[in-house]
Amino acid sequence: MRAELPVFSFLSLFGLILILPGQVKSPTIPAVSVIFWLFVSNLIHGVNSIVWAGNTAIHSPAWCDIATKLLLGAMVAVPGAFLCICRHLEFATSRREVAEKANRLRQSIFEVSLCIVSPIVYMALRKSGRFVSHTTAAHWHFADTIVQDHRFSIVQDLGCQAAVYNYLPALILVWLPPLLLSLISLLYCGKRVRSFFVESKLTHSQHLH
């Protein structure tokens, strides 16, 4: 058993619980989403590392089905939530002027889409394959086989993991969305850093004059 795996997972849970009261006072969709998905992910990893310590036995197929779906959802929910946070910070510090009411509505739609809708769609990729398998074999082949060739994989000391088919369309569907969300967040961070240096330069010039 790798003792550090459950230890760090449950320490992370404790850290999330500590910061939760601050978010209750002024909750935002991205912040709550980050806390929720990190809590779920660390809980799953902690349980997995204990149950599958030194073994690869199938202890609970139902747990693995649920855990792998939630971990897939977290793959897009966490970077999506951080993208919302980075976008909000960049916009709040920019000099663009937009109608406040319209901006809030667009921001809410954007946050709900990335933090709630996209993880549900992402998790449904596999589930939809099972649902349509009773009606159309072709749809079953596309929706299920293109993403996962079996229900889940079990890795020693790590437990249940999503089984991704080693095929280009499957790899694109699973890994490209989180990567794109992270890259866009990085761009927003770069814009904010650039704005900071520009503002500092302008402030310095004003003091000199």
Decide if pLDDT at 148 tops 80: no
| pLDDT bracket for residue 9 (50, 70, 90) | very high
Torsions phi, psi for 149 (to 5 deg): -95, -10
Is residue 148 within 8 A of residue 165, CB to CB? The reply is yes
Mean pLDDT is highest, among 21-35, 96-110, 162-176, 188-202, for 21-35
Q: Per-residue DSSP letters for 63-117?
A: HHHHHHHHHHHHHHHHHHHHHHHHHHHHHHTS-----HHHHHHHHHHHHHIIIII
Question: What separation in angstroms does the CA of 49 have from each of 44, 53, 74, 106?
Answer: 9, 6, 18, 41
Torsions phi, psi for 133 (to 5 deg): -65, -25
Q: What is the pLDDT of residues 88-125, one digit of tens each?
A: 888 877 665 555 666 788 889 999 999 999 999 888 87
Is residue 23 within 8 A of residue 35, CB to CB? The reply is yes
Decide if pLDDT at 162 tops 70: yes
Decide if pLDDT at 141 tops 50: no
What contacts 139, CB < 8 A, 6 or more positions away? 129, 132, 133
Domain ranges of the chain: 4-208
The model carries a pTM of 0.79
